[in-house]
Every structure is written in structure tokens, then in C-alpha cells.
């Protein structure tokens, strides 16, 4: 089982490069540099062949020189990375390798194993889809990649195995506007939910109503009396029991549980389960927790949807408490929570100073519900792509006056032109650089 994730901005760059005309070659070729661990590869950069590296050939679309192959072999060794040959068949629909493609690749790809243990392979693109093959060793022969994901807004998932639970359901009719393939798309994506409490219980319940059958819930805590003001689905009988018990009861009442993973633990104890998710929704309380989730999501090229609510009690008698929060989407290659100024060094330092001394933060069910509902809408939009222009806003703020909209402060203090906190080239597992 190998799953390859490609950030959408990187795939756009690949397509743009491969569609340039060449003086003597019918088609262009490039190589995706991919890093991975445990069956998951993430594409981190793209290296095109130079114009001078193509040779004239009547038999194949792109014949390239031994110097080009040598350069790619060196690249695999220098980057300690998997290499995937990429070319483009144009048009639309699911592309397929030609017999000539596969014959050429059999002569090329096994050589990469001398430089890096792989897997290595090849991708063929169309205008709207990707197919791939991989070699797991120099002598394994090739096999189709099990899963390829283009990570953007929306997500595109191409998977060998069929999605679960695609039979008709009475609720489909009410969600028909999501598109004719919405059920398959919702079935193909795995959504991770970090935190099943004030915000996460709304998110989980709504995802089950929508029918997202591949769901992974991470929640280590037990239900406390004080949670009953906002933990949807919990009753007095749940006090002292794990919160995931509430999750299991609510979800099982609304959808099949075959592919629902409920983990009564912190996500760090099941990091492989987190990185298997196609979208993560974070419903956590602190800046350092959301910072850590986002780092892991960027590392494994996963969209991160974050909600956060803050209720500020008045410092002066006679003023109202301020109830405000935000939903933000952090997509690989785009602005992150630090760009949005949701995570700041000042807030992290304040948390470090306050640790253990803070009174429980005020929380209420209705404001959590607003933010959670926005997050679920974003997740459904990410997966189904039901709007032609997906996600017009990456961040929406619940303002103190109860209205929701894009943050106004970015007008006077604009976001940076591009994210400087995370680079696509830095994705993938940790690498020992000097032993």
C-alpha cells in the first residue's frame, strides 16, 4: 500500500512545465522528488529535464540523454528521496501509461534503487487526473500506486480500492447539490478529528449526518460534569467515562462504523493514524496544541481546519464579555496559522508563563456550534468541490457582535504575500543529516 500526496500548487507547476512545447520532443518529462515513511510518500519538489537533455527520436514522445539520467540518479542520492518520472498525456479523464511508456520506465526506474531504497516510480497526468505506478525494489516489477491525492481546494483522490458505503441513502436527495459523485468523494476521504469536546462533538456529529464514513477521532479525556454545558450527545450518565464513548454512540447512530476509528488517546500516540487522514479538523484549546497539529499536517501534506473560540471576561464592571473565535484552513503551499496571526510567539509565551495557573476558560455550546458548523462546511467543500470556486475565504471570524465574516484587520495589516513559515520542500519525515 503506497499513498502519494502531491500539493496542488506543485502539481500545477508540473502541468505548466510539461505543457511547454519543445523543439524536438513530442512531450516533456520531469521528476517529482518524494519523501516518505511507512507507505506514505509526499511530493516535495519538481525537477524538469533541461531543453538540452532531450534527443531526437522517432519511436518515443520524449527521448532523453544519458547525462539527464545521470543527473536524476545524482538527485536521488543527494536528496535521499524517491523519484517519480512524470509526463502528461493532456486532455481530461483518467490517464493510462502506454505500452511504450512502461517499456521505457522498466529500463529507467529500477536504476534509481542504486541511489535510494525507494519506492520509485512514474506518474502520467491528464488535465484533471493522475495515475501512477511504483517499483518497491529494483526487481519487484511495477504495480499501480494504491492512492494518489492532489492536496488543494478541492482535494482530488484517485484510489485503487472502492470507497466504502456508496449505496443509496435517503439523505442523498437532500444533499444532491453537492454533485453526482459527492457520495463517492465523501467516502474516499478520511477525516481526522482531534478533540471530541466542545467543538469536536459538533463536528463529529455533523460529519456523521453528512455521512463521512472514514473518520478517525482522537480524544484522550473523560467526561467531566463541567463538560455537559457543551459536549453534544453527552448525558449525566457519561460523567467519568471516556469522551470517545459519547463519540461512538453518536456516530454509530448515524452511519456505519466499519471504517470509523475511535482512539481514546492523544494523536501523538497514534501519529500514523493522523497522517493517514486526508483532512484534519482540530478542536483544541491552546496555541501550542494547534501549532503542533499544524506542523504535523504540513509535514505530511494534509489540509488542516482549525477552530478556536475565546470568551474574554470584562476587565471593567458594566462591560459585556467578548465571545469571539475563528475557523481557519491551513493548506499546504498556502498561508498558515502563523500567517493568519492565530498562532503568535506572544501567545505561545503567554501560555508558557501561565501554565498550570489558569482558571478553566469559559466555553459555551452555541458559539462552538457556529464555528464547528463552518468547519464542517469547509470539510465538505474541500472533499466534494461542490462550488466552482472552492473556499472563497481561508479564514472566517466569529465576531463579538455575533456576525461571521472574513477578518477585517487584514485590511490594515495585510497577510504576507506567501507563507514564509512552511516550505513544501521541507515536507516528509525527519532525515539524519550528520551521523
Partner 1 sequence: MSFPQDQLDELGVFGTVSVVRDGGRDYPLICGCAMPAGCVPDRVDVMLCPYPRDGYETRLFFAQRVNGKKNVNWHQRPRMLDRNWEVYSLKGIPASFRLAAMLVYHLEALA
Which parts of this chain interact with partner 1 (CB under 8 A)?
37, 266, 268-269, 271, 288, 291-292, 295-296, 298-299, 345, 347-353, 355-356, 422-423, 425-426, 429-435
- Give yes or no for a contact between 25 and 54, defined as CB atoms under 8 angstroms apart: yes
> Do you find a cis peptide bond into 113, omega within 30 degrees of 0?
no
Of 155, 169, 87, 156, the C-alpha closest to 125 is 87
Nearer to partner 1, 275 or 394 (CB): 275
Nearer to partner 1, 106 or 358 (CB): 358
Give the residue with the Cβ less far from partner 1, 134 or 291. 291
CB of 59 to partner 1, least distance (A): 42
- Among 148, 93, 164, 151, smallest CA distance to 382 is for 151
Helix (H) or strand (E) holding 323, with range, is strand 322-330
| Residue 77 CB, nearest approach to partner 1 (Å) | 16
Cα distance between residue 194 and residue 31, in whole Å: 35
Strands 3-7 and 40-48 come out as parallel
Q: In 237-283, where does DSSP find H-type helix? A: 243-252, 271-275
Which residue number, 370 or 419, has a Cβ lying nearer to partner 1? 419
Toward partner 1, which CB reaches closer, 80 or 126?
A: 80
Using the minimum distance from each CB to partner 1, give the nearer residue, 169 or 425. 425
Q: How far is the CB of 134 from partner 1 (least distance, A)?
A: 22
* Helix (H) / strand (E) containing 30: strand 29-37
Measured from the CB of residue 384, what is the shortest distance to partner 1 in angstroms? 30
Q: Residue 179, exposed/middle/buried by CB under 10 A (0-12, 13-18, 19+)?
A: middle
Using alpha carbons, list the distances in angstroms from residue 250 to 231, 253, 266: 11, 5, 20
Residue with the three cell numbers 481561508: 394
Q: Three-class SS string for 151-173?
A: ECCCCEEEECCCCCCCCCCHHHH
Smallest separation, CB 140 to partner 1 (Å): 25
* C-beta of 101 vs 296, nearer to partner 1: 296
φ and ψ at 179, to 5 degrees? 115, 155
* Minimum distance of partner 1 from residue 302's CB (angstroms): 14
Report the SS3 class of residue 244.
helix
Nearer to partner 1, 122 or 339 (CB): 339
Shortest CB 114 distance to partner 1, Å: 23
**CB of 52: closest distance to partner 1 in angstroms?**
32
- Distance CA(304)–CA(293), nearest Å, equals 8
Amino acid at each position: 500500500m503506497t499513498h502519494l500526496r502531491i500539493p496542488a500548487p506543485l502539481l500545477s507547476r508540473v502541468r505548466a512545465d510539461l505543457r511547454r512545447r519543445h523543439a524536438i520532443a513530442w512531450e516533456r518529462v520531469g521528476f517529482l522528488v518524494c519523501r516518505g515513511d511507512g507507505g506514505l510518500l509526499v511530493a516535495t519538489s519538481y525537477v524538469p529535464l533541461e531543453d538540452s537533455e532531450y534527443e531526437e527520436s522517432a519511436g518515443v514522445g520524449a527521448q532523453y540523454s544519458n547525462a539527464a539520467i545521470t543527473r536524476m540518479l545524482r538527485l536521488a542520492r543527494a536528496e535521499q528521496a524517491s523519484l517519480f518520472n512524470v509526463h502528461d498525456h493532456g486532455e481530461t479523464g483518467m490517464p493510462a501509461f502506454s505500452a511504450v511508456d512502461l517499456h521505457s520506465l522498466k529500463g529507467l526506474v529500477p536504476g534509481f534503487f542504486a541511489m535510494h531504497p525507494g519506492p520509485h516510480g512514474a506518474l502520467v497526468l491528464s488535465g484533471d487526473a493522475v495515475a501512477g505506478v511504483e517499483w518497491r525494489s529494483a526487481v519487484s516489477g511495477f504495480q499501480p500506486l494504491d492512492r494518489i491525492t492532489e492536496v488543494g481546494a478541492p482535494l482530488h483522490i484517485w484510489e485503487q480500492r472502492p470507497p466504502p458505503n456508496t449505496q443509496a441513502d435517503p439523505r442523498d436527495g437532500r444533499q444532491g447539490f453537492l454533485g453526482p459523485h459527492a457520495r463517492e468523494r465523501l467516502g474516499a476521504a478520511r477525516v481526522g478529528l482531534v478533540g471530541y469536546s466542545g467543538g469536536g462533538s459538533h463536528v463529529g456529529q455533523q460529519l456523521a449526518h453528512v455521512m463521512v464514513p472514514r473518520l478517525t477521532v482522537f480524544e484522550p479525556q473523560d467526561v467531566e460534569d463541567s463538560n455537559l454545558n457543551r459536549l453534544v450527545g453527552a448525558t449525566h450518565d457519561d460523567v467519568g467515562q471516556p469522551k470517545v464513548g459519547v463519540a461512538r454512540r453518536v456516530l454509530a447512530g448515524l452511519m456505519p462504523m466499519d471504517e470509523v476509528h475511535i482512539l481514546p488517546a492523544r494523536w501523538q500516540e497514534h501519529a500514523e493514524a493522523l497522517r493517514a487522514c486526508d483532512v484534519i479538523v482540530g478542536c483544541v484549546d491552546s496555541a501550542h496544541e494547534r501549532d503542533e497539529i499544524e506542523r504535523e499536517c504540513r509535514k505530511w501534506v494534509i489540509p488542516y481546519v482549525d477552530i478556536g473560540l475565546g470568551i474574554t471576561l470584562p476587565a471593567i464592571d458594566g462591560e459585556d464579555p467578548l465571545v469571539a473565535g475563528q475557523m481557519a484552513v491551513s493548506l499546504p503551499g498556502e498561508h498558515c496559522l502563523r500567517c493568519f496571526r492565530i498562532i503568535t510567539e506572544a501567545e505561545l509565551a503567554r501560555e508558557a508563563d501561565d501554565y498550570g495557573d489558569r482558571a478553566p476558560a469559559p466555553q459555551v455550546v452555541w458559539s462552538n456550534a457556529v464555528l464547528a458548523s463552518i468547519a464542517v462546511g469547509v470539510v465538505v467543500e474541500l472533499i466534494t468541490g461542490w462550488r466552482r470556486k472552492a473556499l472563497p475565504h481561508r479564514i472566517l471570524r466569529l465576531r463579538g457582535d455575533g456576525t461571521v465574516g472574513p477578518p477585517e484587520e487584514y485590511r490594515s495589516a495585510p497577510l504576507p504575500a506567501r507563507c514564509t513559515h512552511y516550505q513544501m520542500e521541507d515536507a516528509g519525515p525527519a532525515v539524519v543529516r550528520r551521523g
